Amino acid sequence: MYNILALVIGALISIMISFNSGLEGYVGSTYSVVIIHAIGLIAILIVAAIKKEKIVIKEAIPFYLFLGGTLVNVITIGSIGVALTTALAVFGQLVFSSLVDHFGLFGLTKYEFNPKKLVGLFIVLVGLVIMTMV
């Protein structure tokens, strides 16, 4: 079930970055990122209000946890397209998430890296090389 949901998220991300790129064509990179995040903030505030949730911060939050919303997809799509932007982003996520899992970075649970993952990363890399040559 979670594998299917992950595939759906991947499809939605492709749609999202396509829309973000379209917005960038109208208002430019800087303002599109501001608009995208403002709308996200408004949407989650509405959801929180409907669910009657309150923000409760129990302790100090490390600064790096606030960096998850940085976007550069908007800039790259105009130059290399949605498919290659998404493929390169996913490859970057695969490599870095493998490091996060293996070393338990950011206080997360450790998941050992195994040779099967290396084969998968290599196959994806070959696909990227082929995509960039076309």
pLDDT tens, position by position, 14-32:
777 778 778 888 998 788 8
Q: What is the pLDDT of residue 4?
A: 80
For tokens 């290399």, what's the residue?
80
Neighbours of 40 (CB within 10 A): 11
Q: pTM (2 decimals)?
A: 0.56
pLDDT tens, position by position, 50-104:
999 888 888 888 877 776 555 566 667 777 877 788 888 888 888 888 888 899 8
Q: Round the average pLDDT of the chain to a whole number and report it.
A: 82
Q: What is the pLDDT of residue 72?
A: 62
